Amino acid sequence: MGMEIKEFGMTPDGRKITLYTISNQNGMSASVMDYGAILTSLIVPDKNGDPADVVLGYDSPEGYFTNPGFFGATIGPNANRIGKASFVLDGNVYELDKNDGENNLHSHRQLGYHKRIWDVRTEGNSVTFSLKDVDGSLGFPGNREFCVTYTLDDENRLTLHYHGTSDRHTIINFTNHTYFNLCGQGSGSIEDHVLCLKASRYTPADAGSIPTGEIAPVAGTPMDFTSPHRIGDRIDQAFEQLKFGSGYDHNWVIDGWNGEVRQFAELTAPGTDRVLRAYTDLPGVQFYAGNFIDPQQGKEGAVYGRRGGMCLETQFFPDSANKPEFPSAVFGPEREYDSTTIYEFSCRP
């Protein structure tokens, strides 16, 4: 139990990158770095004590300098998509980078917060990353301050706590883009994983993955994970939403959302007794099945491919900046951003 701190290479412009590894008494550890506040490794033992790294990533920082799949990344100031790469707030039109067709995805591919060096503070089994951003940066209003804290406890819970302030109304919608594979990174497709989501509704999207504004029931569709289902069973069905996303890549509406932390997911996989339960106080989760992972070299000689990992990205709904009917991601002097997501690991008997 404790923390290890080591150098992890240099940024392209010559700044030092530092890697922080926090561990608990059960043999679980999480490694996070100040470049992008990225989770690079998550070692989780099974009931026999055999460890596996259950998240996708790279052995060296060079992979993260491109990182087309956003492996492990802290995404900000706005995660997911904003339609037409623009929004109106307080009567002003804000134009963003068009980096996903005509839309904006994850704020900015090259200049988003997953590509910045964050300031660091450590305490006990926690690492806190913080940064400041100025009014107009990446197209978003407000002088802003953000932090994200990773904490690993002896109950095998990795807690991510986000906080943000702004001196003007702005959009704040953070997420973590970690790809999980409970059998271990590099072990192949997650289609055999079994997922349960406490979400009886979702937000259908158009061909560009922008929500239509409808909140639709999952009942009777391949989007229904209210009881446990193997991910691969229906992922390629001739269902329009799955065709648009080349599989699952949608926002589910978490049942009973009231701003308090609640469990929203449970994930298991054959061949391992590891169990992942996920909790959040946010209204939505983007379940992404890794449909667009290009073949590439990952950690420890692994070769990643399509659906080699899956994301549970807690969030305000995509395009909420343009959908007043969705829960509001507008924050400012009278409303600070504060959110918690927990990934909890255990073993089946």
* Cα separations in angstroms, 128 against 94, 105, 349: 30, 25, 34
The phi and psi torsions of 158 (rounded to 5 degrees) equal -100, 110
Task: Write the DSSP string, 89-119.
Answer: ETTEEEE----BTTBEESS-TTTSGGGSBPE
Q: What is the dihedral of CA 252, 341, 6, 22, to 10 degrees?
A: -130
Q: How many CB atoms lie within 10 A of CB 7?
A: 9
Q: How many CB atoms lie within 10 A of CB 102?
A: 12
Give the tokens for residue 122.
Answer: 């450590």
Catalytic residue positions, numbered: 177, 313
Q: Exposed, middle or buried: residue 26 (CB in 10 Å: 0-12, 13-18, 19+)?
A: middle
For residues 279 and 342, the answer to whether their CB atoms sit within 8 Å is: yes
Cα 47 to Cα 45: distance, rounded to the nearest angstrom: 7
Say whether 49 sits in a helix, a strand or coil.
coil
Sheet holding 51-53, edge to edge: 2-10, 16-23, 29-33, 38-45, 51-53
Token pair, residue 335, equals: 């409303």
What is the C-alpha to C-alpha distance for residues 267 and 246, in angstroms, rounded to an integer?
Answer: 21
Q: Tell me the DSSP string of 249-279.
A: EEEEE-TT-SSS-EEEEEEE-TT--EEEEEE
